A and B are shown apart, each in its own frame.
Chain A
Amino acid sequence: DAGVIQSPRHEVTEMGQEVTLRCKPISGHNSLFWYRQTMMRGLELLIYFNNNVPIDDSGMPEDRFSAKMPNASFSTLKIQPSEPRDSAVYFCASSSPRTGKETQYFGPGTRLLVL
């Protein structure tokens, strides 16, 4: 069974450029989460979707960040324009309520460096 898939795994870009991160959740999972992790702030939830609908985007830093989930098997997180302070590891996670636990399973992450 494939886990959560993220691409790219590494991204190096220059300040001002647009960055698009992609995520494919585990098949059958209906909740999808985007996190950012840095040494200073730890693991922070940016936004999550339930059945493709954004439920809570209170963690999205500012208007430069946007996320979409056009269907149950694909989501994007876009940063435009990117800034050096956006450098972090971005994780996507998915979960399903079927087990009752709604355990979140994480993808491998995208390591973003903005120069």
Chain B
Amino acid sequence: GQNIDQPTEMTATEGAIVQINCTYQTSGFNGLFWYQQHAGEAPTFLSYNVLDGLEEKGRFSSFLSRSKGYSYLLLKELQMKDSASYLCAVRFYNQGGKLIFGQGTELSVKP
């Protein structure tokens, strides 16, 4: 299988930093995506990693280690509006263009 594992839920404080981890099976890996989904809304694209290292985009950064089958999404200076579900999705060579999504991590930001 191609299990995508991420924590079910996390809680953090406004202004803090939070790291959401995602692990996947490495065979056939061809790119990893992070999406944000607010309650009742559609997933929206946050970041894409295909090479090892850190991709930074404002308050959000995403890291990838292909050899370890591991990624994380780092959110800095947390705001209340960051409360949402964060979905890790992986594309595999033998799956064409489709993405395999994790179950999502429900992040609650508290004042």
Residues of A in contact with B (beta carbons under 8 Å apart): 31, 33, 42-45, 48, 50, 55-56, 91, 95, 97, 101-109
Question: What is the distance, in angstroms, from B51's C-beta to the closest C-beta of chain A?
Answer: 12
Contact B97 A106 (CB under 8 A): no
B39 to chain A, nearest CB (A): 11
Total A-B pairs in contact (CB under 8 Å)?
A: 49
The answer to whether A42 touches B99, judged by C-beta atoms less than 8 angstroms apart, is no
Interface string of B95-111 (1 = CB under 8 A from A): 11111111110000000
Distance in angstroms from A48 CB to nearest chain B CB is 6
Contact of B33 among A33, A44, A103 (CB under 8 A): A103
Closest to A111 in B: B40
29 A–B contacts, CB within 8 A, in A order: A31-B97, A42-B101, A42-B104, A43-B43, A43-B101, A45-B98, A45-B99, A45-B100, A45-B101, A48-B96, A48-B97, A48-B98, A50-B96, A50-B97, A56-B95, A56-B98, A91-B42, A91-B43, A95-B97, A97-B97, A101-B31, A101-B50, A102-B31, A104-B33, A104-B45, A104-B99, A105-B45, A106-B44, A108-B41
* Count of B interface residues, CB-CB < 8 Å: 21
Secondary structure dominating the interface of A: strand
Q: Which residue of chain A lies nearest to B4 when distances are taken between CB atoms in the complex?
A: A42
Which residues B20-51 have CB closer than 8 A to chain A? 31, 33, 41-45, 48, 50
Quote the shortest CB–CB distance from A84 to chain B (angstroms): 21
Chain B positions 42-85 with a Cβ under 8 Å from a chain A Cβ? 42-45, 48, 50
